[in-house]
Amino acid sequence: MNNSSEHISLWEKQSFLTRDIIIVGAGITGLSAAATLKENAPNLKVTVLERGILPSGASTKNAGFACFGSVSELLNDIETLGKDGMLSLVEKRWDGLQKTCQRLGRSVIDIQTKSGYELVFSEPSNFLNRMDEVNTILKPFFQNEVFRKTDDRISDFGFGQTMHLIENHLEGQLDTGKLVAALWKYCSEIGVQIHTGCEVEKVIEEENQVLIQCRDLTFSCNKVGICTNAFTNKLLSKNEDLSPGRGIVMSIVPKNPLRFEGTFHYEEGYYYFRDYYGKLLFGGGRNVDLEEETTTDFGINQQIKEKLLSDLSTIILPNQAYEIEMEWSGIMAFGKNKSPIVKKTSDRMAIGVRLGGMGVAIGSLVGEEVAELLF
């Protein structure tokens, strides 16, 4: 480690390396935490450290779903969290989306509410039969029914192998590149320092300060917030219940115009696709090879890609020509349930991690909660 103090000037130490609060991770959660800190205490010296040149996890590597869960996903949440726990999680996801819109502006992040749909392939369907149960749980919060069956759209959309569609009229889509860029710009404008290419190797809590060791620099601060999601446990003295989950996304250019708009899910949200200005964004399939996809290494699993291409040709764009424009992967974090971990791990450290594949929705709220723990 080249971390010698002889290369640091007095000015650098005072203005850059000695801070009140440091946030590790410049994704949606970390930037939201930093923004909340400065909004509530403008004189705080706040810095965000990011390991990559760009955010490294999933904040800008997802498909841009502004969602809070399909029927099958929410039924799964009931099994792991109970009815009250599921409702609380939905409320947090929804409130997080509203927080993002209020802070940055809907047009800035290109959020569009075109409805979301869950594809059902079998009859009878357990989760289709329990749709009314989910609506009943959600109604006190949304005041109206969220989900309804819209089978008449199947032929309009041109889907193959699909027996039923469940529509969520509240679901939308957004541009997460614009979201993070706007959040980054906002943080800079209110005085947050952001350093990229600054991977944190160790966090050392001392009696009167916290030392944040990177390869070439050591920062000191009074408190630290860890918002690194799947990459978190290597920075903690005690591991939390979180496992990485790699996800693939492809940008596809169809030869003919798409027959559908909106966001779409199937198989408990393991597969998802949406329109994007004439293109198709399609991803998922992690359940095909869960063991291999429990990794923090970026890459494309060929077995999963083959499954996605098969579904593309038989379900989404049957008998239609297309080209794959781009493909990439992002790293999410999961645990025994999808509830995020937001807590203080010591007097000087708080964490906001394990977003369960819903970071676009819940990230702003988790960041806000981390900031509140650090005040």
Same domain, 225 and 269: no
In 75-206, the DSSP E strands lie at 116-120, 147-149, 164-168, 172-173, 193-195, 200-205
CA gap 358, 341 in Å, rounded: 13
pLDDT of res. 1: 45
Angle at 314 (CA atoms; ends 299, 148), nearest 5 degrees: 95
* Distance between CA atoms of residues 15 and 318, nearest Å: 59
Q: Is residue 365 part of a domain?
A: yes
Query: pLDDT digit string (tens) for 241-256?
Result: 999 999 999 999 999 9
Domain interval for residue 217: 5-61+178-241+337-374
CATH number at residue 185: 3.50.50.60
Neighbours of 360 (CB within 10 A): 26
Q: What is the pLDDT of residue 127?
A: 86
Q: Which domain CATH number covers 251?
A: 3.30.9.10
The answer to whether residues 272 and 327 belong to one domain is: yes
Q: Domain total for the chain?
A: 2
Between CA 322 and CA 308 the distance in angstroms is 13
What is the pTM for the complete model shown?
A: 0.96
What whole-number percentage of the chain has pLDDT above 70? 98
* CA quadruple 372, 24, 298, 178: dihedral sign: positive
**Residue 125 included in any domain:** no
Facing residues of 342 across strands?
352
Residues 230 and 264 in one domain: no
The verdict on 186 and 315 lying in the same domain is: no
CA torsion, ordered 72, 314, 327, 109, to nearest 10 deg:
-50
Whether residues 247 and 310 fall in one domain = yes
Sequence-distant (≥ 6) Cβ neighbours of residue 218 within 8 angstroms: 3, 17, 211, 212
Average pLDDT, stretch 235-240?
Answer: 95
Shared-domain flag, residues 234 and 262: no
Does 188 lie in the same domain as 306?
no
Residue 73 counted as domain residue: no
Helix (H, G, I), strand (E, B) or coil at 48: strand
In a domain, 261, yes or no: yes
**Alpha-carbon span 94 to 151, nearest angstrom:** 26
Same domain, yes or no, for 234 and 248?
no
Is pLDDT above 80 for 204? yes
Tell me the C-alpha distance between 343 and 325, whole Å.
Answer: 41
Same domain (yes/no): 192, 316: no
Listed residue (364, 363, 334) closest to 77, CA to CA: 334
pLDDT at 2 over 70: no
In a domain, 91, yes or no: no
Residues 287 and 343 in one domain: no
**Which pLDDT tens digit goes with each residue over 44-103?**
999 999 999 988 889 999 999 999 999 999 999 999 999 999 999 999 999 999 999 999
In a domain, 67, yes or no: no
**Is residue 221 one of the residues assigned to a domain?**
yes
107-140 pLDDT tens trace: 999 999 999 999 999 887 788 899 999 999 999 9
Percent of the chain whose predicted confidence (pLDDT) is above 90: 94
Mean pLDDT of the chain: 96
366 and 297 in a single domain? The answer is: no
The length of the chain is 375
**Phi, psi at 241, each rounded to 5°:** -75, 80
Query: Looking at this protein, which amino acid is placed at residue 351?
Result: I
Burial class (CB in 10 A: 0-12, 13-18, 19+), 172: buried
Asked if the structure places residue 123 within a domain, the reply is: no
Residues 354 and 248 in one domain: no
Count the alpha carbons within 13 Å of 159 in the hemisphere toward its beta carbon.
22
d(CA 193, CA 29): 16
| pLDDT for 7 | 86
**Measured distance CA(64)–CA(261) in Å, rounded:** 14
